Amino acid sequence: MTTDLDAPGRTIAGKYQLVSPVGRGGMAVVWRAEAILAQGFRRAVAIKRIEPTLRGSPEVVAMFVEEARVGSLLRHPNIVTVLDFGVDEHGDYYLVTELIEGLHLGNWVNAHVLSKTETPWELVAAIGMEILRGLDAAHCRVDQSGKPAPVLHRDVTPPNILLDELGVVKLADFGLARAMDRGRMTRANVVKGKVSYLAPELVQGHSPSVQSDLFGVGIVLWEALTMQRLFAAENDVAAALLVRDARVPLIGMKRPNVPLTFARVVHRALERDPARRFASAGEMLEALRDLLRVLPTTTDATRLRESVRRAMATAR
């Protein structure tokens, strides 16, 4: 029997104390919490919990379990680490991950909008490289026998790109991921990815692929550069039509100071035909790496850290 007892101060499974909610999605709530360790030590973590009204749904529970399963398979510096998974004293699931102290990409862009400054295009490129490193690790995963067992993210959106205050970029939430060794999970009233960030082939009912993930990367980079929504619409139906047609305004028309070579990389990821996009996350990563090699200024973690901290101060 499930119960909605989640509140600040509650202890989950005798070892995690909830502090405050930090995010809410379609199926779950993410809490800041403290892991209770030996000798009175505590460690800050993030705990994800299924929304109380959905805890009785076998399909939602199955998706949550799948997120934990997939997340536990992935180990990479640019992917949020799964630390624990279990069932509490009331029979409700919890997923524990590392806590990222910072903000997500959408917050970072919005902070620049609020301060009326442009996002530094070279930092956008650097963030893109880190996203692609995480995706490449998921796409190139192999199983214990050494056979390819790729994981597709399927939900590359600004809230799932976390920028740590130390200047580290993490890809979060593989809850909509589909490990290729598992069948697809479906549920009529659970949106499989935010429509405005889907690839054209997905809104037409085709299967997800490496290229559909890369289209998502293209969207978030286009939006971070222009500080505008690419497929903004009043509802999901209208958004799906925009995505299907995939008419992408030239970045140079909205932001002339972005190098043409960078704009070309982003627009290639946003090709309507998947075959015209990059063949892999690694190939797109290499294109961005070539771009940043010739930069006279640095794009290391120190500069990103300073930018993230300024954005956090602006957002407060």
Claim to verify: residue 200 and residue 61 sit in the same structural domain: no
Q: Same structural domain for residues 111 and 26?
A: no
The enclosing domain of 261 has a CATH number of 1.10.510.10
| Number of domains making up the chain | 2
Answer yes or no: do 130 and 267 share one domain: yes
Positions marked catalytic:
155
**Is 50 in the same domain as 180?**
no
The answer to whether residues 89 and 118 belong to one domain is no
Instruction: Indicate if 89 and 106 belong to the same structural domain.
Output: no
Which of 98, 127, 150 finishes a domain? Answer: 98
Query: In degrees to the nearest 10, what's the CA dihedral of 7, 68, 204, 277?
Result: 120
Poorest-pLDDT segment among 92-106, 241-255, 283-297:
283-297
Q: Residue 137: name the closest of 184, 95, 99, 80 by CA.
A: 80
Which tens digits make up the pLDDT trace of 1-42? 445 589 999 999 999 999 999 988 768 899 999 999 988 899
DSSP 235: S
> Which tens digits make up the pLDDT trace of 154-184?
999 999 999 999 999 999 988 666 555 554 5
pLDDT digit string (tens) for 269-290? Answer: 999 999 999 999 999 999 999 9
Mean pLDDT in residue range 84-99: 94
pLDDT attached to residue 198: 94
> Does 88 score more than 50 pLDDT?
yes
CA distance linking residue 163 with residue 49, whole number of Å: 22
CA dist 101 and 167 (Å) reads 10
Domain boundary residue, one of 98, 116, 133: 98
Question: Average pLDDT of 188-206?
Answer: 77
pLDDT digits (tens, 9 = 90+) for 69-86: 888 889 999 999 999 999
pLDDT confidence of residue 183:
47
Say yes or no: 47 and 172 in one domain: no
pLDDT category at 296 given cuts 50, 70, 90 is low
Lowest mean pLDDT segment, chosen from 123-127, 231-235, 262-266: 231-235
Residues 6+ apart with CB under 8 A from 139: 150, 151, 152, 210, 213, 280, 281
pLDDT of residue 300: 76
Q: Is 244 helix (H, G, I), strand (E, B) or coil?
A: helix
Question: Do 253 and 307 fall into the same domain?
Answer: yes
Q: With 50 as the cut, is the pLDDT of residue 95 above it?
A: yes
Q: Kindly state whether residues 27 and 83 are assigned to the same domain.
A: yes
In a domain, 84, yes or no: yes
- 178 in any annotated domain: yes
Q: What is the CATH number of the domain that holds 77?
A: 3.30.200.20
Same domain assignment for residues 180 and 300: yes
Domain limits at 106? 102-315
Question: Measured between alpha carbons, how far is residue 266 from residues 43, 128, 173 in Å?
Answer: 39, 10, 23
Instruction: Judge whether 3 lies within some domain.
Output: no
